[in-house]
Structure 1
Amino acid sequence: MAQPSLYSHPTRRSAIAGAAGLCTLGWGIAAAQGKGDAPDQLERILKSRVLRVAVPQEFPPFGFTKNGVLDGFDIAVARMLAGDLRVSLKTLPVASGERLAALREDRVDLVIASLGKTAEREREIDFSTAYAPTYMGVFSDSGTGPTDLAALKGRRVGVVRGSLEETELKAQAAHATAVAFDSSAPLLDAYVRRTIDAFAAGNVVAESIPDTALRERVRRVAVLRQSPCYIGVRKGEPRLLARVDAFLAQARSSQALMVNAMHWFKHSLSPDMFKDGKG
């Protein structure tokens, strides 16, 4: 089958909306009735007809605000899921370090915010199947920056505060000087201004730098770890977790995730990238 292209659709929004329509499962409220007296989270969502989702605050291309409008890869996934559930979407932009707290404190129903899985996090929340197979690495200019982790000694490396990249950089390159930023936008700005020598981020962040000339100079110094993105679900909500996984399975088979990624990640992607969602 030929790889889908955004150019086969009249607009990006219609492409994503059309793809979302393909993965609609049409589960009604009647299918969501719990066996106990207290409604579970899926039932509450369907009865309230509102899906509350924590999304990236300023972390392009996953989520960001431009001209007062929230958009990005994760926001599009949240819109598709809300459409699939036939409910309205209420987003809560959060910083990386606030994602799990927002879920635990019942401020949101789900986290769709470039969330990676760790053993520590799995003790706190549950994770869906992967919806964006990515990796985290250290990046710098070709020819002028460090060439490997050992070469980071004494170098200033930007990270997003509270992110897995920060944790992995400190574990694997303690000899580097980690410089924390609240989001990827000021991190990349600092890199452009040369106040840091390199930065640790997800590969799609590096590949989506708006400055084309800079993006073409940037190369990978090292892979810190494979880091697929998952949707976060509160513990004790097995039906909501199963419902999210069913949506993602349909979104992969309909190539809705692929269409979305082709727009936001700016690079050619393998047709196999979103096939099984295992990570």
Structure 2
Amino acid sequence: MIRLKTIAVAALIQAAAILPSFAGENLAAIKSAGALKIGTEGTYAPFTFHDKSGKLVGFDVEIGEAVAAKLGVKAEFVEGKWDGLIAGIDAKRYDTVINQVGITEARKQKYDFSEPYIASKAVLIVRQDNSDIKGFADLKGKKSAQSLTSNFGKTAQENGAELVGTDGFDQSIQLVLTRRADATINDSLSFFDFKKQKPDAPVKIVAEQANADYSGIIIRKGEPELLAAVNKALADIKSDGTYAKISQKYFGQDVSK
């Protein structure tokens, strides 16, 4: 019995010794590396995308850069498709994901989230000449262009839609425009940005969810120092005007509420 207890204690000590060596497990490791590694899509305008010169830009990119600066490090972005983006945290490809990740109870079971930093509503988008779809319930039996693992995709499926898989907002809109999909449920802020860029695009919003969805910066569980530092950084960029400047640049309004 004593031998078994000794083995168990030794195993716990060995596990504890290994934990600090994992990349991104604590704030000290990030500061030592001089970089906060951030997972993001790079194809989700206006949050994270490439401009005409090929540079990675967007609301979430600038938020990530501002948060990293408050931590005293640089932001290092690692791009990936949405469907595997959050899984990259588990694989320790990066320390966090900043990509308008919705805060859900299911995700909170496995990951930690910062305080919400953006609020948006899901909207139902169809072609301008579509008169069949007037609300979410009308999606039954229709094709909806969605990222398959997104909250929007789940909402479409719950309303009886047949999902047409896409890599993100831009592709979803294109499928609606080319009639390969009847509709898409997507982020209101993405739609407003799209219409700002292409005001003549023949698409419209026919319905929106009553309640706002909130997004946060997502990290692995078990990194309380990093979580606290990220929350402080978000509070700081809101209080010093940095957040307002970024928000106005991309949306013309405060999108934190």
Q: CA deviation digits over 1:115-174, x for unaligned, max 9?
A: 011121111110000111112222224563411122223322111232111112212x02
Q: Structure 1: how far apart are the matches of 2:145 and 2:211?
A: 17
Alignment of 1:58 with 2:40, yes or no, is: no
Partner of residue 232, structure 1: 218
Secondary structure class of the residue paired with 1:212: coil
Q: 1:180, CA displacement in angstroms? A: 1.4
Q: 1:111, CA displacement in angstroms? A: 0.8
Instruction: Say which of 107, 114, 121 aligns to 1:135.
Output: 121
Q: 1:186, CA displacement in angstroms? A: 1.5
Instruction: Say which of 83, 94, 98 aligns to 1:97.
Output: 83
Please give the TM-score of this superposition, normalised by the length of structure 2.
0.83
Partner of residue 20, structure 1: none
RMSD over equivalenced CA pairs, Å: 2.1
Alignment of 1:107 with 2:89, yes or no, is: no
Partner of residue 150, structure 2: 163
Instruction: Say which of 59, 63, 66 aligns to 1:77.
Output: 63
Q: Structure 2: how far apart are the matches of 1:44 and 1:181?
A: 36
Q: CA deviation digits over 1:174-219, x for unaligned, max 9?
A: 2x2221101222212222222222111111111111311227x512
Partner of residue 87, structure 1: 73
Please give the TM-score of this superposition, normalised by the length of structure 1.
0.77
Partner of residue 223, structure 1: 209
Contact 1:56 1:93 in 2 (8 A): yes
Contact 1:116 1:229 in 2 (8 A): yes
Secondary structure class of the residue paired with 2:94: coil
Q: CA deviation digits over 1:63-106, x for unaligned, max 9?
A: 11233211111111111112222212210112222222111111
Q: 1:224, CA displacement in angstroms? A: 7.6
Q: Sequence identity, in percent?
A: 22
Structure 2 gap segments, 5+ residues each = 1-15
Instruction: Say which of 103, 109, 117 aligns to 1:117.
Output: 103
Q: CA deviation digits over 1:14-43, x for unaligned, max 9?
A: xxxxxxxxxxxxxxxxxxxxxx97475200
Contact 1:258 1:274 in 2 (8 A): no
The one-letter amino acid paired with 1:103 is: I
Partner of residue 47, structure 1: 32
Q: Structure 1: how far apart are the matches of 2:256 and 2:155?
A: 25
What is the 5 A alignment of 1:256-275? 256-265=242-251, 268-269=252-253, 273-274=255-256
Secondary structure class of the residue paired with 2:86: helix
Structure 1 gap segments, 5+ residues each = 1-35
Secondary structure class of the residue paired with 1:162: coil
**Equivalenced residues, count:** 233
Partner of residue 187, structure 1: 172
Instruction: Say which of 208, 211, 214 aligns to 2:201.
Output: 214
